[in-house]
């Protein structure tokens, strides 16, 4: 989703004041203090970024209390933090009812929101509807439900949020309030812009509430049948793509400096990746928890002349507004690359889920990363930060980033190639747990000397729940769970097995894992063509701009090395022995042992 500038004339307005700060229920304060929520079974989950921040919870409770709002509703319950805040305001005056709508509460969010209501003794104040809001809201209209306040925090696509507002408006009393959450999402901002431009609502949000808009209904809908007032931000006339890209890079870099000035200066971290010194500079602390853990293995002393500098900032913590972008809604490809900038000396990536924009200037050897709010960073970006632009930085005749893993012993090993779901991560992590060297399960940088080397890029890994059940010893390394369609666990390996993380592994062969149906795994010789088919498509699809350079590099690699298929069976304990035996055999056949690359 692309960033958009917002009309400040429409997104300003009077504010509400409170006599005192509302008292949040003890359970909610405990959640904010620990940063965790619990399932009914006592398992802990991170409360952030799913739950609303504490200042927003206080704002909602104060609004319900001070404006005397007794019939309230929300779309999107999740862990129930907003539900607890609103219901507690009703309970404090012993009057009021709340409706919470969420079709994913019982499975994706594991019933944590409902459990929190029971623990807080607020479940009698809440009517929970297990259905999509697009289906539940019309039924409430048919029931004749009237409300004083609604909190829209469900599906954040433009059409879903607009449909939520449409039905909520028909139930909302005159003088009632509606709040939209997650304004860092362009789609939500556009809905707010539409309401401000086309409906009789006034904005009541204080300026500091950058993540939430609160509007008050002033009058009924009296539009003519042909009424329309433009609400989207006008797009600027495009210029030459390379000039646009350079200008965007300069504005993002300038924004990083301004953000650092407002947050106490840049916080520097120094790394070495694939032998190259890198300096990361954060404007404040907000993004460090999301972006640093994946590079824990690569920390190094400061270098006099880093080969690459990465500037990282966000608008929410710094108060620095994001620069406008030139492309429009729908212009960004699924991978994040923006059409028209392919040949530019500045690479531009717009992450569709969070709206984050990354610009990499090859000439200045600098990456600038911006996101509206640190809470918007998706789990897969935290597991592999800056992947797309690091690919461009690493791409060349001497090295390339590939979608593969790497394991071995005594510094020599194999490259594990294959698409997602083929068993790369399962194989790599089974080998790690058996004591083999590990340089990655999903992405590595390969340098093409003799022999080629796979360099560790990230010390995080992703594993589906089924594979995690087969490798239970990895459970202590789990740092995050992603339920729903992804069903992934994110593993922080540096704190789990730091002694087995290798800076680099000499690659003696390419092994292509696949899911088998038998019990014992089987390792068989293969062909360069089969290895290229396993490695190249997923690399080219996932990494914007990989193109012909990447294909040629991977083709040359598989022609130089022996290739094998590994059919995984139900007995994973035998896999490391097969890989270890292959590494020993290949090392012996070369007549020498590669030097150890342990970091």
Dump pLDDT digits (tens) for 141-193.
999 999 999 999 999 999 999 999 999 999 999 999 999 998 878 789 899 99
Distance CA 105, CA 130 (A): 7
Residue 532 pLDDT > 50, yes or no?
yes
Enumerate the domain spans of the chain: 26-217, 241-394, 399-590
Q: What is the mean pLDDT of residues 384-396?
A: 90
pLDDT of residue 340: 75
Q: What is the mean pLDDT of residues 278-299?
A: 95
Q: Do domains 26-217 and 399-590 have the same CATH topology?
A: yes
Among the residue ranges 4-18, 305-319, 410-424, the one predicted with the least confidence is 4-18
pLDDT of residue 243: 84
pLDDT of residue 396: 80
Better pLDDT: 314 or 550: 314
pLDDT of residue 517: 73
pLDDT of residue 2: 32
Q: How confident is the model at residue 330 (pLDDT cuts 50, 70, 90)?
A: low
SS3 state of residue 376: helix
Between β-strands 522-525 and 504-515, what pairing exists: parallel, antiparallel or unpaired? unpaired
Distance CA 546, CA 501 (A): 27
Distance CA 313, CA 349 (A): 15
Query: Which span out of 234-238, 430-434, 487-491 was modeled with the highest average pLDDT?
Result: 430-434
Dump pLDDT digits (tens) for 94-140.
999 999 999 999 888 999 999 999 999 999 999 999 999 999 999 99
Residue 15 pLDDT > 60, yes or no?
no
Tally of CB atoms within 10 A around 93: 11
Query: Which span out of 309-318, 489-498, 525-534 was modeled with the highest average pLDDT?
Result: 309-318
Better pLDDT: 347 or 5: 347
Distance CA 488, CA 379 (A): 10
**Contact between 327 and 343 (Cβ < 8 Å):** no
pLDDT of residue 47: 86
**Residues 6+ away with beta carbon under 8 Å from 563:** 509, 510, 511, 512, 525, 526, 527, 528, 530, 531
Residue 551 pLDDT > 50, yes or no?
yes
Dump pLDDT digits (tens) for 354-379.
889 999 999 999 999 999 999 889 88
Q: What is the mean pLDDT of residues 564-588?
A: 90
Distance CA 522, CA 564 (A): 10
Distance CA 183, CA 212 (A): 6
CA end-to-end span of the chain, whole Å? 38
Distance (Å) of CA 582 to CA 283, 306, 528, 572: 47, 37, 17, 16
Dump pLDDT digits (tens) for 190-237.
999 999 989 999 988 754 456 899 999 999 999 988 888 888 665 455
Residue 81 pLDDT > 70, yes or no?
yes
- What global pTM score does this model have? 0.67
Q: What is the mean pLDDT of residues 485-512?
A: 88
CATH number of 26-217: 3.40.50.150
577: its two tokens: 């022995």
Residue 574 pLDDT > 50, yes or no?
yes
Q: How confident is the model at residue 328 (pLDDT cuts 50, 70, 90)?
A: low
Q: Considering the domain delimited by 399-590, tell me its CATH architecture.
A: 3-Layer(aba) Sandwich (3.40)
Between β-strands 563-568 and 504-515, what pairing exists: parallel, antiparallel or unpaired? parallel
Residue 8 pLDDT > 60, yes or no?
no
Dump pLDDT digits (tens) for 42-72.
888 888 778 898 999 999 999 999 999 999 9
pLDDT of residue 386: 94
SS3 state of residue 172: strand
């Amino acid at each position: 989703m692309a960033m958009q500038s917002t009309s400040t004339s429409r997104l300003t307005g009077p504010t509400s004041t409170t006599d005192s700060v509302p008292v949040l229920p003890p359970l909610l304060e405990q959640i904010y203090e620990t940063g965790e929520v619990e399932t009914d079974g006592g398992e802990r989950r991170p409360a952030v970024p799913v739950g609303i921040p504490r200042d927003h919870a206080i704002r909602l409770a104060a609004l319900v209390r001070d404006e005397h709002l007794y019939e309230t509703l929300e779309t999107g319950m999740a862990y129930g933090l907003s539900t607890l805040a609103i219901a507690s305001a009703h309970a404090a005056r012993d009057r009021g009812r709340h409706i919470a709508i969420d079709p994913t509460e019982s499975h994706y969010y594991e019933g944590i929101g409902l459990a929190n209501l029971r623990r807080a003794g607020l479940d009698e104040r809440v009517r929970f509807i297990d259905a999509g809001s697009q289906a539940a809201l019309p039924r409430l209209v048919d029931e004749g439900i009237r409300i004083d306040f609604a909190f829209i925090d469900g599906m954040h696509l433009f059409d879903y949020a607009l449909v939520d507002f449409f039905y909520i408006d028909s139930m909302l009393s005159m003088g009632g309030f509606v709040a939209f959450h997650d304004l860092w999402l362009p789609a939500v901002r556009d809905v707010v812009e539409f309401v401000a431009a086309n409906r009789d609502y006034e904005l009541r949000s204080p300026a500091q509430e950058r993540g939430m808009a609160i509007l008050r209904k002033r009058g009924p809908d009296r539009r003519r049948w042909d009424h329309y007032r433009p609400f989207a931000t006008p797009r600027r006339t495009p210029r030459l793509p390379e000039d646009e890209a350079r200008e965007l890079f300069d504005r993002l870099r300038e924004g990083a400096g301004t953000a650092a000035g407002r947050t106490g200066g840049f916080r520097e971290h120094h790394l070495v990746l694939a032998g190259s010194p890198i300096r990361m500079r954060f404007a404040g602390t907000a993004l460090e928890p999301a972006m640093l853990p994946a590079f824990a293995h690569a920390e190094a002393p400061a270098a006099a002349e880093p080969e690459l500098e990465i500037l990282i900032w966000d608008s929410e913590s710094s108060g620095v507004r994001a620069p406008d972008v030139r492309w429009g809604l729908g212009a960004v490809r699924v991978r994040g690359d923006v059409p028209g900038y392919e040949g530019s000396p500045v690479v531009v990536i717009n992450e569709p889920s969070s709206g984050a924009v990354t610009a990499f200037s090859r000439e200045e050897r600098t990456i600038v990363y911006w996101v509206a709010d640190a809470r918007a960073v998706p789990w897969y970006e935290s597991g592999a930060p800056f992947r797309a632009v690091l690919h461009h930085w690493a791409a060349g005749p001497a090295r390339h980033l590939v979608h593969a893993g790497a394991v071995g012993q005594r510094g020599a090993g194999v490259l594990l190639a294959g698409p997602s779901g083929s068993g790369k991560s399962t194989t790599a992590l089974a080998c790690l747990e058996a004591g083999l060297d590990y340089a990655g399960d999903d992405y590595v940088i390969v340098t093409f000397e003799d022999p080629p080397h796979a360099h560790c890029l990230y010390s995080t890994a992703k594993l589906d729940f089924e594979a995690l059940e087969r490798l239970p010893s990895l459970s202590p390394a789990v740092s995050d769970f992603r339920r729903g369609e992804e069903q992934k666990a994110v593993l922080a390996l540096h704190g789990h097995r730091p002694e087995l993380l290798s800076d680099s592994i000499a690659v003696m062969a390419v092994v292509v894992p696949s899911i088998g149906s038998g019990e014992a795994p089987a390792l068989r010789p293969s062909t360069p063509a089969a290895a290229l088919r396993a490695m190249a498509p997923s690399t080219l699809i996932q990494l914007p701009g990989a193109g012909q350079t990447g294909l040629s590099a991977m083709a040359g690699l598989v022609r130089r090395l022996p290739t094998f298929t590994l059919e995984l069976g139900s007995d994973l304990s035998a896999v490391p022995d097969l890989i270890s035996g292959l590494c020993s055999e290949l090392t012996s056949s070369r007549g020498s042992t590669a030097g150890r690359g342990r970091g």
